[in-house]
Structures are given as C-alpha cells and as structure tokens.
Amino acid sequence: MTPAVIPALSVCDSPIEGRLLQAMFDNWNFNGYIEDLHRDDVRPRISCLFWTEKTPICVFVQTELRDIPYRRVDFVIEGMCCKFIVEADGVQFHKNERVMREDRKKDRIALLMGYNTLRFVGPEIWQYPKFALGQIEQTCANLTEQNFPAWRAKIDTEQSFETP
C-alpha cells in the first residue's frame, strides 16, 4: 500500500468501499488530493484526482450531497462531462428492508439532482475489482457521450454571437 492511499482509505465506512478505492489507486493514475474544495452541492470527506486510460476523473469519497441531508453516498464520480454516484453495498448490511428502502429513496433524490447511481454488491468488488472499475469508466464515457452534443451546441451557439 502506498502512503498516498492511506488518507483516502481512512474515511471509508466499510471494507468493501476501501477495496473499491484501493482498486482505483492500484489501477488508475493518482494525481493528488484536491484541497479546499468549496462547493455548495458536494461536501466530501476527501477528494482524489485520477487519470484513467480515457479521461481525468475526480472521486469524492464519503460525500454528502446538498439535497440528501444525513445520507452520505460512498463515492461521487465527476468527469469532464459526467457526474454520478457509486455505491458499494455490503451484502449483510443490505439484507435489511429498511436499509434497502432508504437506499432507493436516496437514489431517487439523487436522480432529481442530476446524479445517476451505479451500485455494486460486495462480491462483485471483492472478486472482480477491475470489472467494477471498467463499469465506472464505461459509465463515465457513456454519460460524456450523451452530454457532449449538448455541450458542443452550447459552445457553437455562444461563438455564433461573437462579432468578427
């Protein structure tokens, strides 16, 4: 374990979250921690910047979202044109019906805020961490692809009003 990973792992609430975060450090290029993040919508315990093969990704660990009071999410992933939540669900903890109901409520509120949720169960992360990372990268790529045309049109519109 590299010294860089220790601060991030220390804020994880469960071993399964730590396993997924460790896989990020092992497989993506870590570019440092983001200090003094001042945003109204996102309040992470710690923020990490990684480069994957395709894109830079900011990972907010153990994050409170503004409109989901007292319901922390495991990870918020933000890429250049995407943002979504990743939840690492331990099997034992999520056997409880109340917990499952609360998680679905959290997912619905997050969706209203513009965040899709990607959920993994413990065995998926323990046994196949690279598969989980691939799913995260692919989700980021798919959302970027979906969002890019709108972003591109916005730039083209702004440029069309410029005077020569």
SS3 161: coil
Q: 67-70 long-range contacts, Cβ below 8 Å, gap at least 24?
A: 67/109, 67/112, 67/113, 68/106, 68/109, 68/110, 68/113
For the stretch 97-122, pLDDT in tens is 887 888 888 888 888 888 999 999 98
**119, amino acid identity:** R
pLDDT over threshold 70, residue 154: no
Neighbours of 138 (CB within 10 A): 12
In the chain, how many domains are there?
A: 1
For the stretch 56-76, pLDDT in tens is 899 999 888 877 766 789 999
- The pTM score is 0.81
Banded pLDDT at 155 (limits 50, 70, 90): very low
Domain limits for position 45: 5-160
Among the residue ranges 17-21, 36-40, 84-88, the one predicted with the least confidence is 36-40
Structure tokens at 155: 């730039």
Separation of alpha carbons 21 and 62, rounded Å:
11
Residue 139 CB partners (closer than 8 Å, separation 6+): 77, 82, 84, 116, 118
Q: What is the DSSP letter of 132?
A: H
Separation of alpha carbons 36 and 47, rounded Å:
10
Among the residue ranges 1-5, 65-69, 152-156, the one predicted with the least confidence is 152-156
Residue 57 CB partners (closer than 8 Å, separation 6+): 28, 49, 50, 51, 77, 78, 79, 136, 137, 140
Nearest to 35 by CA among 44, 27, 26: 44
